[in-house]
Every structure is written in structure tokens, then in C-alpha cells.
Amino acid sequence: MIEASRLAKKFGTVNAVRDVSFKVAKGEVVGFLGPNGAGKTTTIRMVTGYIQPTEGEAFVNGQSVIEAPMETRRNIGYLPENNPLYEELRVREYLGFRAALKGVPRRRRSKRISEVAGMTETGDVLEKIIGSCSKGYRQRIGLADALLADPPVLILDEPTVGLDPAQIVRTRDLIKSLSAQHTVILSTHILPEVEAICSRALIIHRGALLYDGRVEDLGRSLSAGDTLVCRVVGDAAAAEGCLSSVPGVERIEKLDENDGRSRFRLLVSKGDAAREAIFWALAEARLPILEMSTSRVSLEEAFLSLTTDENEPDGGEKEVLA
């Protein structure tokens, strides 16, 4: 449904986006992540046809955004980052105007406005002036606008900004439900939002795409092995020495010590052989093991690992993790 092919954008001497390529299949909900100024919004604007790329091309539903801009825009529902609205209009008037622009037949407009108002919980403000609505309502009015023409592709830039916690949960549930009929790109800096909604993540930093893959695989791709947490009874120094001598244990970190019980985080080679060796080594040293569990790298840790400046190349290309 969406394809970005070697997209690049320069503003003067600044490379805002550098050689970004990805594909999004029908029905996917993909999280687009990156720090402020990473190039997320610029990439989205190129995909939606709002700005022209310096190099590369984007396709929506098989059509070139450059060669067929009107046709591709008809396939996209776009909620921009700043959500511009006509504040002097009533909500119903605004949605009616937007429905007309999007080609929704006149006979269907009233029904469709009621449908999207129900989906976005804006029905109680349809007769209000937009300028008098709260920021949370304005955000949901923008989402209603994106849904009006029932487009196959939804591109949502920070859709939960300004919402209260209850509204955030309901909006996330709505976005998840939309994947049954829509392909969704969700641009956000809220990492738990990606974990809650998205099956796949794209991470961009300083204009370059650093990761393209499943959300649950992100932490795994950054480690050469598995991370285990072990809790052991007995002398902490003896336990640490015992663990460090086990074949397959590549790194050991003491987490805490309390009442003769110590916890360690271990980076081990993949497979069950290391776990079995750890168990028998501690048993032979008469150091009872109370816990041995897998510890996954959190999305926050993985995100920071990819986007910290010390991991950036000096002008060279960075391999995309996938």
C-alpha cells in the first residue's frame, strides 16, 4: 500500500532525510519513531505529497505520489502534526466542508459525519465553534477529518497529543481497530504507544532509517545473545565468580544484593545450553538459584541505543537493522 524508494530531502545544505526506503503492506499498523528533528515529519510529507523529494520517489496503492498527486491523495487520510483547523466554523460545518473537498457524495455526507463523530467521540461538539473546543477535542476533530472519505491509507502524526489518559486509551483502541480496513502509519515519540498499537516499527535518526522490523524483535536484534536475570542465595562474590566461569556467559552485571541473595544480569550465547550450564555450576558450588528468567531489552533501551550520537557514523551510511 505504501512504498518509499530512496527518499531524500535537502533544505539548503541540510540533509533532512537521507536515502530512506521502506514498504508497508495492506492492514499493517506501523510505528514511525525518531527523536525531535529526526526527519519523521519531512518523510511523511513526502509520502503524502505535501512536499517534493530532492531524490527518490513514493508510491501509494501502486501510484506515484509525484506523477499522480491527486489520485494518491484520495487514498490517504492524513492527520498532520499541527492539525490546522478553521476555528471560526462549527465542527459540523467544518467536517461538511472537508467531506465536500474529499468527494464524499452530498447524500452521504450527513451520515458519514455522524459515523466519524461517533468513532472519534466528537458527537457532543458537532454544533460548537471549533475555536471554543479544547485541544483534545481539536485533535479528535482532525482524526475525524482524516477518516471522512474512508481512505485505505491513514497517516497519523502524533494523534494522541493533547488527549487525557482515558481518551488516549480509546484512541489507541480505535487505531488498532482501523487496521481491519486501513493501512496505518503512526508517527509518534511515545514509545508505549508503539508497543500498544503497532506490529512493526521504523526508526529514523538524523535523516537515516536505522531500523525496520517487528516491535518485539527490536531488542533482540541489538544483542548477540539472550539476557538472563539470575537470583542466587549465598556469597555474592562467590556467585559472581561462579557465573563468570560458565562457558557461554559473555557478560555479567550485579543488579542488587539483599539478605544474602544477589541478582545478576547475564548476557549469554543463544540456546538452552548456557542455561543448563549455569544451573549445574551453581548447584556444584552449593549456591541455590531462586530465579532464572529472560530479560528483554525494553523498547526505550533499544530506541536509545540506536539514536544516541555515539552510535552515529561520521557521514557514512548506517546499516538498517531488520
- Quick one: pLDDT at residue 298? 62
What is the model's pLDDT at position 315?
47
CA angle 107, 111, 115 (to 5 degrees): 150
Q: All 3 cell numbers of residue 149?
A: 472519505
Mean pLDDT split into 10-residue runs, the chain, 322 residues: 95 93 93 88 92 95 92 91 91 97 94 94 95 90 94 91 84 86 88 86 91 79 69 93 90 89 85 84 94 72 65 49 54
Domain range summary for the chain, segments of one domain joined by +: 1-75+151-222+298-322, 85-139, 223-294
pLDDT at residue 162 in the model: 76
Where does 223-294 sit in CATH, by number?
A: 3.30.70.260
Looking at residue 184, its pLDDT comes to 94
CA 26 to chain centre: 17
- C-alpha closest to that of 29 among 189, 186, 202: 186
Q: Is the dihedral of CA 235, 237, 238, 243 positive or negative?
A: positive
Q: How far apart are CA 304 and CA 288, in angstroms?
A: 35
Any long-range contacts for 234-243 (C-beta under 8 Å, 24+ apart)? 234/260, 234/262, 234/285, 234/286, 234/287, 234/288, 235/287, 236/262, 238/285, 238/287, 239/264, 239/282, 239/285, 239/287, 240/264, 242/281, 242/282, 242/285, 242/287, 243/278, 243/281, 243/282
Residue-level pLDDT at 248? 85
Please give the CATH number for the structural domain made up of 1-75+151-222+298-322.
Answer: 3.40.50.300
